């Protein structure tokens, strides 16, 4: 049990997917201008990442490794993620329209969100077993959501400030992200 709690803390804070491992930065800057979109994106990522983590683990362990096809990892994972996203989109549209309305536009974006693919690859690389894959996928996604929502909160405030012209938009966004990353950096050495 202690191992699992350690894993959760490590994935959310210490190795935060956005701020310590630099994965998924495009949506981080793209969807963080408004709190609403940030929350939507976070939820969509949590949803898809847990599914993708589990699916890719199964494919790697049951198909790729037994037949010695590890070199097809990249191509098979991206196909799994892309079709999974499509499937989730269709499923939500049909059966849970309310959730679809909330997550809708963010789902297609997730295919090219490298946080999803990145976590799947990290899980395989760290040789996690099934339970640990499930936990780490969820914890990484939660860390993504936490960082994104924090960042969106700060960014909404920046809108009210008078930023010098060359620093506006992405530039000040990156500097802000750096300062938030500095705060997360203090978690280093905790686990």
- Residue among 99 and 150 whose Cβ is closer to other proteins: 150
Interface residue with other proteins, options 1, 66, 125, 159 (CB under 8 A): 125
Q: Is 29 in the site for other proteins (CB under 8 A)?
A: yes
On whether the CB atoms of residues 170 and 85 are closer than 8 A, the answer is: no
Question: Rounded to the nearest 5 degrees, what angle is found at the Cα of 23, between the Cα atoms of 19 and 25?
Answer: 75
Choose one: 33-41, 42-50, 129-137, 166-174; the region binding other proteins (CB under 8 A). 166-174
- How many residues comprise the chain? 191
Interface residue with other proteins, options 10, 24, 59, 138 (CB under 8 A): 24
Q: Is 159 in the site for other proteins (CB under 8 A)?
A: no
CB of 117 to other proteins, least distance (A): 5
Between the alpha carbon of residue 24 and those of residues 2, 98, 140, 177, the distances in Å are 29, 26, 11, 13
Q: Is 161 in the site for other proteins (CB under 8 A)?
A: no
Q: Is 190 in the site for other proteins (CB under 8 A)?
A: no
Residues whose CB is less than 8 angstroms from the CB of residue 161 and which lie 6 or more positions away in sequence, other chains included? none
- Residue among 55 and 99 whose Cβ is closer to other proteins: 55
CB of 7 to other proteins, least distance (A): 18
Q: Is 117 in the site for other proteins (CB under 8 A)?
A: yes
- Residue among 99 and 114 whose Cβ is closer to other proteins: 114
Q: Is 170 in the site for other proteins (CB under 8 A)?
A: yes
How remote is the C-alpha of 93 from its chain's centroid? 22
Choose one: 46-54, 55-63, 67-75, 141-149; the region binding other proteins (CB under 8 A). 67-75
Residue 138 CA to residue 87 CA, distance in Å, equals 20
Pick out residues in 75-114 that bind other proteins (CB under 8 A): 75, 77-79, 82, 111-114
């Amino acid at each position: 049990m202690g191992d699992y709690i350690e894993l959760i803390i490590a994935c959310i804070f210490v190795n935060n997917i956005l701020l310590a491992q630099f994965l998924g930065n495009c949506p981080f800057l793209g969807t963080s201008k408004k709190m609403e979109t940030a929350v939507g994106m976070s939820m969509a990522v949590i949803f898809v990442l847990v599914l993708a983590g589990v699916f890719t683990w199964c494919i790697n362990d049951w198909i790729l490794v037994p037949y010695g096809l590890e070199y097809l990892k990249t191509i098979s994972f991206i196909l799994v993620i892309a079709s999974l996203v499509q499937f989730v989109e269709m499923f939500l549209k049909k059966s849970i329209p309310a959730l679809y309305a909330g997550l809708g536009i963010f789902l297609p974006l997730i295919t090219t969100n490298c946080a999803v693919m990145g976590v799947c690859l990290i899980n395989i690389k760290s040789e996690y077993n099934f339970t640990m894959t499930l936990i780490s996928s969820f914890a990484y996604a939660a860390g993504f959501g936490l960082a994104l929502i924090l960042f969106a909160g700060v960014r909404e405030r920046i809108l009210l400030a008078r930023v010098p012209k060359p620093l506006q938009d992405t530039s000040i966004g990156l500097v802000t992200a750096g300062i938030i990353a500095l705060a997360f950096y203090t978690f280093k050495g905790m686990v």
